[in-house]
Amino acid sequence: MEDFKKKNNGRLMERIAAVICGLLLLVVILITSTQALCYWIPDWWRNEYAKYNTPQYVTGEMSLDDAVYITEQMLDYCLGRIDTLDDTEATIDGVKAPFFTEREKLHLADCRNIFLGAVKFRVVSVLMIIGLLFAIWFSVKNNTDASLVKTQYARVLAGGYLTALVILVVFAIFLIIVGMNNFTFLFTKFHHVFFDNDLWILDPRHDNLVNVMQESVFSDAAITIGGIWGAVSAVLAVISAEILRRTSAVSPLRSL
């Protein structure tokens, strides 16, 4: 009886660890999806700015090329590829001058901290996933008949991932519903969560960054990131479901 309880407790811990592993993996996919949108999709920003005719909202006359250039500079700064935005210039009303105001640069310094923090968190998450994979393996090996170890290991990971996906999908559906009804509210709450100051509140009369990075662009970015995340997550879900289907005849009780 004692051995039975011990193995049951071990299986519970395996499942919890697998769910944590799944959640971390999904966060890693989300961070990578964001990076893909910002840096890896050719002409995404140019197409967005052309779609919404972004230059017309800038205070002064500015070209589409300059709008794309300052965005690329901003993103490079946020990822640590360049150290300052002081030298980032754009031509407005025929005059070439530094684009970003001091307030904008202070806000983007906060954005840089978030971007770099997310990249560091992704590295930590990957290391935690690797550690959890080893821990789950050794637990399954100790609690399962030798002939079923690989099968049970795959089932635990697949089940954990699907559970984690359901948790995040429910949360994502909630955010989508809120965003569809009032994206401005969601946009504002996002900034309240991630920023501890009001530097993100910019004046379109003086801060052209807010005129370039319109709410509609942010909305499209969120949809694109969600689409990438959803596609990758769905592929892993199909693989996980198939693993569970193919191994459904194997009962964990056989190893107790």
Q: What is the pLDDT of residue 253?
A: 46
Q: Per-domain residue ranges for the chain? A: 2-48+123-255
Say which DSSP state 38 is in: I
Helix (H, G, I), strand (E, B) or coil at 91: strand
Number of Cβ within a 10 Å radius of residue 112: 17
Q: What is the pLDDT of residue 206?
A: 87
CA 24 – CA 168 distance, rounded (Å): 11
CB 30 within 8 A of CB 165: no
Q: What is the pLDDT of residue 75?
A: 96
Helix (H, G, I), strand (E, B) or coil at 195: coil
Question: What are the 10-residue block averages of pLDDT along the chain, 256 residues in total?
Answer: 59 93 97 95 95 91 95 96 95 95 95 96 98 95 86 95 96 85 82 88 90 90 94 97 87 48
Query: For the whole model, what pTM was predicted?
Result: 0.88
CB 54 within 8 A of CB 67: yes
If we measure between CA atoms, which residue out of 6, 50, 22, 37 comes closest to residue 223? 37
What's at 171, amino acid-wise? F
Q: Which residue in the block uniquely carries the two structure tokens 């779609």?
A: 51
CB 187 within 8 A of CB 210: no
Tokens for 2, please give them: 């004692």
